[in-house]
Amino acid sequence: MPGKMAMIFGASNILWIVFAASQAFKIETSPESRTLVQIGDSVSLMCSTTGCEAPSFSWRTQIDSPLNAKVRNEGTKSTLTMDPVSFENEHSYLCTATCGSKKEEKEIKVDVYSFPKDPEIQLSVKCVVPDVYPFDRLEVELLKGDSRMKHQEFLEDMERKSLETKSLEVAFTPTLEDTGKALVCRAQLHMFETDSEEASPKERETYRELQVYILPKNTAIHVHPSTSLQEGDSVTMTCSSEGLPAPEIFWNKKLDNGDLQLLSGNATLTLIAMKVEDSGIYVCQGVNVIGANGKEIELIVKEKPFTVDISPGHQVATQIGDSVVLRCSVTGCETPSFSWRTQRDSPLNGIVSSDRTESTVTLTSVSLENEDHYLCTVTCGRRKMEKEVQMKVYSFPQDPEIEMSGLLVSGTPVTISCKVPLVYPSGHLEIEIHKGETLMVNKHFLEEMNIKSLENKSLEVTFTPTSEDTGKVLVCQAKLHIGEVESEPKQRQSTQTLYVNVAPTDTTVSVNPSAVLEEGSSVNMTCTTRGLPSPKILWSRQLSNGDLQPLSENTTLTLISTKMEDSGIYVCEGINEAGRSRKEVELIIQVAPKDIQLTAFPSESVKEGDMVIISCTCGNVPETWIILKKKTEMGDTVLKSIDGAYTIHKVQLEDAGVYECESKNKVGSELRSLTLDVKGRENNKDYFSPELLVLYCISFLIIPAIGMIIYFARKANMKGSYSLVDAQKSKV
Ligand SMILES: *[C@@H]1O[C@H](CO)[C@@H](O)[C@H](O)[C@H]1NC(C)=O
Ligand SMILES: *[C@@H]1O[C@H](CO)[C@@H](O)[C@H](O)[C@H]1NC(C)=O
Ligand SMILES: *[C@@H]1O[C@H](CO)[C@@H](O)[C@H](O)[C@H]1NC(C)=O
Ligand SMILES: *[C@@H]1O[C@H](CO)[C@@H](O)[C@H](O)[C@H]1NC(C)=O
């Protein structure tokens, strides 16, 4: 069912549209049917159509007179314009629109009228000639000065005999120029005397001198400087009025009851040193013989504004200990009186001094107690005014202090602290630490502000300097934001140029000519090291207990003509603030063997079969080889000795002879010899078996220098001998 309904509605819609299209061609006009226009104005009639693409229009009047108008066609519109409108336009206009075969027509009626001006009052002059006969001979003229205003001859039919009164009237508007001129009415009756040939008319004339008066008018007031004034001001009012004769000017003041009080008969009224009571309505009157014209003006005199200024401003920030002067000054009051108080009604703590228009409070040394509002009350007569200044107290007496937890050493963290001492209000403090261009840390100390005291605030930052930081500037900047008083915060800063120390390093020692020397020669030991600042050199000798004995602060330690005792460990230290670095060198001074002793025990002279010990002892010289030999005809026999001692348990005759001990090191050698004498016994021969032995000098076996042992071992090997040095070497 709903589907069917929809179909029905659809069909009826289509039908309606078709119907509407066929009925669409219509004509409309504006104005609709009638318009009223004043002659001289302009009017447009408009005709428009709907339902036609391109209609054609035509205009005509109902009685087919000329249109007296301009036609303009524009699409579906046609306009008929009458400009200006005249009597010829008082018609019914018909607009005809044609669209194909269809035609529509509509009519607009244009009614015209004329009523352009206000009415005028006109005066006239009338010249009356009474009781004239024969009045057809009468000629009357009206003259103003020399010019004729009007003239008339009464050439009328004389139907009856009667005396008649004739008159001549002319409209007359007097002007100022007419004053003094004569107004003449001249009447002539053209009658002829009996015995005279010429016409000699009878003539009468009346003469009046014109006096033109003008009522005072256009009374105007000019006020300088203004109608709105202040106490003490002056005002000049000038009044003018037009009229004839020229009006006299009177200045009055309107009293409260409406009466006028005469002030001056002068056009210019000047009032000086005005008071509030001078306010009111002033009336200027222009007066002449025929009347008066007045004009009112109201003057308003206000009390001089009374102002109180407080300086340095509505807020002032003062540093603790400084002095400040609060100044309250008055303008617009002759005899003000001043009083000062604080908002919390605490004592002023200041010196008050007042003169006529100014009062000051001087606070010589501002303290935290002065943080208050100071109010200045000024009384001027009945009026009272109060101004306040808010005293902000601050303390920011010193530049920040930069402190470092220690020396700046490359690679070692250091804590920098920036301390701002004795600051108030600390809650408004901001500290920043910059390194070069970089902000390292900043902090706003936005804390509770209940405590009124000076505080030390500090900001810390830890960083690890590198040598690139040297030369950079460390800046500690403290800003104290003191309210709105100053848009810029108070600012203090301290700077410190960074110098980063580098601990001594790469300490090296060069020994010239060598660390192993012969006694008596000289040696230069040169130490170099690096660091920042340049390290100091300290040469010391290491004592047997490990202590260092300082020797020199020169780079090069020179030992001239060395002795054996100069052997030992020398230490060079590079020292600066950042640390120390050491390098050791062992100096070995070699000495040629000396003071060796060769002895025979118990004696150099023994009996066959006795025991004899031949012993060779070396002197106090290290690194010495000892060789014990027996000289024979066949050559030298090296004896096998123990600790330099060669024991013959049972001495034989053959053992007698020359024994030699050679002490030798790489520096030199020393020889000692003795002759053993053996006395014979019977059957007491022992066998002789000399053995080869190289003895190392016992007394210096304890020398620990490995280098030396190697050296000697090498030396021994080269000689193809074995020694206990080898044992020493293998032990190492
Ligand atoms: C008017 O005022 C002017 C100047 O103020 C003065 O010269 C003149 O005499 C005054 N006239 C009268 C009538 O007061
Ligand atoms: C603040 O530092 C100053 C020195 O700069 C010192 O005399 C004072 O005692 C310190 N005050 C406080 C509260 O630490
Ligand atoms: C040590 O140095 C000095 C000065 O430079 C020089 O005169 C001397 O010959 C040097 N001695 C040795 C052993 O090199
Ligand atoms: C250090 O050197 C200077 C000159 O070069 C010399 O006069 C001085 O004696 C030296 N000091 C030592 C302790 O060697």
Q: What is the pLDDT of residues 112-141, one digit of tens each?
A: 999 988 888 788 889 999 988 888 889 999
Q: Are residues 578 and 611 in the same domain?
A: no
Is residue 468 assigned to a domain? yes
Asked if pLDDT for residue 198 goes beyond 70, the answer is no
* CA–CA dist 247, 240 (Å, integer): 9
- With tokens 């190492």, the residue in question is 732
Q: Determine the angle formed by the axes of helices 706-718 and 724-731, rounding to 10 degrees.
A: 140
Q: Which residues contact residue 227 at a Cβ distance below 8 angstroms, ignoring those fewer than 6 apart?
A: 235, 297, 298, 299, 300
What residue numbers bound the domain in which 79 lies? 25-113
Is residue 7 assigned to a domain? no
Q: Is 81 in the pocket of ligand 1 (CB under 6 A)?
A: no
Residue 434, H or E segment:
strand 429-435
* CA–CA dist 346, 364 (Å, integer): 17
Residue 21, H or E segment:
helix 2-22
Q: Of 441, 461, 487, which residue constitutes the final position of a domain?
A: 487
Q: Is 266 in the pocket of ligand 3 (CB under 6 A)?
A: no
Exposed/middle/buried for residue 718 (C-beta within 10 Å: 0-12, 13-18, 19+): exposed
Token digits for 98? Answer: 């044609």
Q: Is 421 in the pocket of ligand 2 (CB under 6 A)?
A: yes
Cα distances (angstroms) measured from residue 67 to each of 112, 413, 581, 661, 729:
15, 110, 126, 172, 151
Predicted confidence band of residue 687 (pLDDT cuts 50, 70, 90): very low
Q: Are the CB atoms for 363 and 349 separated by under 8 Å?
A: yes
Q: Which ligand 3 atom minimizes the distance to the CA of 521? A: 13
Closest ligand, as measured to the CA of 560: 3
Q: Is 522 in the pocket of ligand 3 (CB under 6 A)?
A: yes
The number of domains in the chain is 7
Is residue 158 assigned to a domain? yes
Q: Are residues 258 and 315 in the same domain?
A: no
The percent of residues above 90 in pLDDT, for the chain, comes to 46
* CA–CA dist 395, 371 (Å, integer): 12
Is residue 12 assigned to a domain? no
Extended beta strands in 591-708, E state: 597-601, 605-607, 612-617, 625-632, 635-638, 645-648, 657-664, 669-679, 695-696
The strand pairing partners of 44, in sequence order, are 81
Quick one: DSSP state of residue 409? B
Q: Looking at residue 623, what is its pLDDT? A: 67
Q: Are residues 616 and 705 in the same domain?
A: yes
Is residue 15 assigned to a domain? no
* CA–CA dist 716, 726 (Å, integer): 9
In order, the DSSP letters of 503-528 are EEEEEEEEEES-SEEETT--EEEEEE
Q: Are residues 607 and 708 in the same domain?
A: yes
Q: Of 170, 189, 209, which residue constitutes the final position of a domain?
A: 209
User: Mean of the pLDDT values across residues 36-58?
Assistant: 90
Q: Are residues 150 and 169 in the same domain?
A: yes
Q: Is 549 in the pocket of ligand 1 (CB under 6 A)?
A: no
Give the Å distance between the CA of 145 and the centre of ligand 3. Answer: 150
Q: Are residues 288 and 341 in the same domain?
A: no
Is residue 725 assigned to a domain? no
Phi and psi at residue 368, in whole multiples of 5°? Answer: -60, -30
Lowest mean pLDDT among 1-5, 220-224, 288-292, 544-548: 1-5
Q: Looking at residue 15, what is its pLDDT? A: 38
Q: Is 552 in the pocket of ligand 4 (CB under 6 A)?
A: yes
Q: Is 524 in the pocket of ligand 3 (CB under 6 A)?
A: yes
Nearest residue to 641 (alpha-carbon basis) of 616, 660, 619 = 616
Pairing of strands 490-497, 473-480: antiparallel
Q: Which residues contact residue 269 at a Cβ distance below 8 angstroms, ignoring those fewer than 6 apart?
A: 236, 237, 238, 239, 251, 263, 282, 284
Lowest mean pLDDT among 97-101, 533-537, 632-636: 632-636
Q: Are residues 632 and 670 in the same domain?
A: yes
Residue 59, H or E segment:
strand 56-61
Predicted confidence band of residue 196 (pLDDT cuts 50, 70, 90): low
Q: Are residues 601 and 682 in the same domain?
A: yes
Predicted confidence band of residue 640 (pLDDT cuts 50, 70, 90): confident
The percent of residues above 70 in pLDDT, for the chain, comes to 87
- Which CATH number belongs to the domain containing residue 228 in this structure? 2.60.40.10
Give the Å distance between the CA of 416 and the centre of ligand 2. Answer: 18
Is residue 8 assigned to a domain? no
Q: Of 430, 455, 487, which residue constitutes the final position of a domain?
A: 487
Quick one: DSSP state of residue 10? H
Count other Cβ atoms within 10 Å, centred on residue 204: 11
Q: Is 436 in the pocket of ligand 1 (CB under 6 A)?
A: no
Q: Are residues 161 and 253 in the same domain?
A: no
Give the Å distance between the CA of 524 and the centre of ligand 3. Answer: 6
Nearest residue to 309 (alpha-carbon basis) of 283, 294, 331, 291 = 331
Q: Is 554 in the pocket of ligand 4 (CB under 6 A)?
A: yes
Closest ligand, as measured to the CA of 550: 4
The helix/strand/coil state of 727 is helix
Give the Å distance between the CA of 476 and the centre of ligand 2. Answer: 18
Is residue 607 assigned to a domain? yes
Give the Å distance between the CA of 560 and the centre of ligand 3. Answer: 9
Nearest residue to 334 (alpha-carbon basis) of 353, 310, 355, 357 = 357
- Its pTM stands at 0.47
Q: Are residues 108 and 134 in the same domain?
A: no
- With tokens 């504006």, the residue in question is 30
Q: Is 456 in the pocket of ligand 2 (CB under 6 A)?
A: yes
Residue 11: how many CA atoms within 13 Å on its side-chain side?
6
Q: Are residues 606 and 712 in the same domain?
A: yes
Q: Are residues 241 and 141 in the same domain?
A: no
- With tokens 């256009």, the residue in question is 218
Predicted confidence band of residue 11 (pLDDT cuts 50, 70, 90): very low
* CA–CA dist 474, 44 (Å, integer): 89
